[in-house]
Amino acid sequence: MTDREKPWIKYLDKIVAPAKQRINKFGLQGKLMSGVFIPIVFAFLIIGGLLFVSVGPLVSIRSLGSNSLNELGSASVQESTALLNKLGEQIIREKAESVAKQIEIYLESHPGLSGTSLVNNHRLQEIAVQRVGQTGYTAVHNNKGINYFHVNPKIVGINLHGLAGQLPDFVKIMKEGLSGPAEGYYNWKDVDGTIRQKYMYTTPVEGTTLVVAATTYIDEFGKPASVILGKVGQMQGTYSARYNNRFLIFLVVVLIVLVVLLVVIYKFSLSIVRPIRHLSEVADKISMGDLDAMVNIEGEGEVAVLGESIERMRTSVKTAMDRLENKGPIIVRK
């Protein structure tokens, strides 16, 4: 290449260099990737938004299950427990009245029972001491507070007024029941030290000095409501765990799909951009005077057509340059 051609080459280099810088900043590959990948991301965001809108009630149920539903459940359980306790009180009252009626009938059919003969009567003892609920029982004492029949033999024969120090509420109910029906709650300390409430109802036996008392733990009747609340809480925990697991799996799947799409889009865009970059480099070499640069584009499509066009241009320019060189200098004769 002659020295006269070098300024022309430098001029072309000044034109081509800024073009290369523009391509390197944000070329066709970046546009292809952003043009394909960004809409896909937006599509996933829209689908995710619609999904969360559609499952909004489920999320509300889950939050309700962890917060409001607990409060609602507690209120429902309290109401249900109160109703069951009322039912338990009714059962205890009916049991006491039933035992009192049975004793009344038995004494009417067995006149003359009193004192020791009354206490030692096994049949009367079977009638007087009956089960109430799961652990409760009935007992019989007279209008002086002396116990005649009890599930615990140690209680038989003692004056129940002496329990005022240990069971003040029990003694209070017992005193009220000496002259008529009475009812109420008192605290009972179990062997393990647990304090539980008992409900007691007392009713006199008609025509006698005997009083029947029926008592048991009141929580025996309200326990099903607590069990139901526990089951509901367990179901809420199971649902929450399943929801969290499914949501996590959904996020993982979305991320994996986005990564795979990004890789596929990158390879696809690279397969388009690589031939164009090659053609750009060949065109730069031709513009710089390198007419031996070969265009190697395989395949079909617009890029292949463009490569063929550039190759024809290169061949034509080279042929023209060769003709000019073979003609030699033009001599003008005077």
CATH of the domain at 128: 3.30.450.20
Look at residue 130 in the predicted model and tell me its pLDDT: 95
pTM, full prediction? 0.50
- Same structural domain, 93 and 201: yes
Look at residue 61 in the predicted model and tell me its pLDDT: 46
3-class secondary structure per residue, the chain:
CCCCCHHHHHHHHHHHHHHHHHHHHCCHHHHHHHHHHHHHHHHHHHHHHHHHHHCHHHHHHHHHHHHHHHHHHHHHHHHHHHHHHHHHHHHHHHHHHHHHHHHHHHHHHCCCCCHHHHHCCHHHHHHHCCEECCCEEEEEEECCCEEEECCCCCCCCCEHHHHCCCCHHHHHHHHHCCCCCEEEEEEEECCCCCEEEEEEEEEECCCCCEEEEEEEECHHHHHHHHHHHHHHHHHHHHHHHHHHHHHHHHHHHHHHHHHHHHHHHHHHHHHHHHHHHHHHHHHHHHHCCCCCCCCCCCCCCHHHHHHHHHHHHHHHHHHHHHHHHHHCCCCCCC
- Same structural domain, 288 and 193: no
Share of the chain above pLDDT 90, in %: 28
Summarize pLDDT for 52-64 with one digit per residue, the tens.
Answer: 655 544 444 445 4
- Same structural domain, 242 and 187: no
- Same structural domain, 200 and 262: no
pLDDT tier, 182 (very low <50, low <70, confident <90, very high otherwise): very high
Of the two residues 143 and 46, the one the predictor is more confident about is 143
Task: Determine the Cα–Cα distance for residues 205 and 190; give it in Å rounded to an integer.
Answer: 30
- Same structural domain, 99 and 177: yes
- Same structural domain, 106 and 201: yes
- Same structural domain, 47 and 95: no
| Average predicted confidence (pLDDT) for the chain | 77
- Same structural domain, 285 and 318: yes
Structure tokens at 17: 């260099």
Residue 222 lies in a domain: no
- Same structural domain, 103 and 206: yes
Domain extent, residue 179, equals 87-217
Residue 81 lies in a domain: no
Average pLDDT score over residue span 203-229: 82
- Same structural domain, 131 and 37: no
Number of domains in the chain: 2
Average pLDDT score over residue span 40-55: 68
Residue 123 lies in a domain: yes
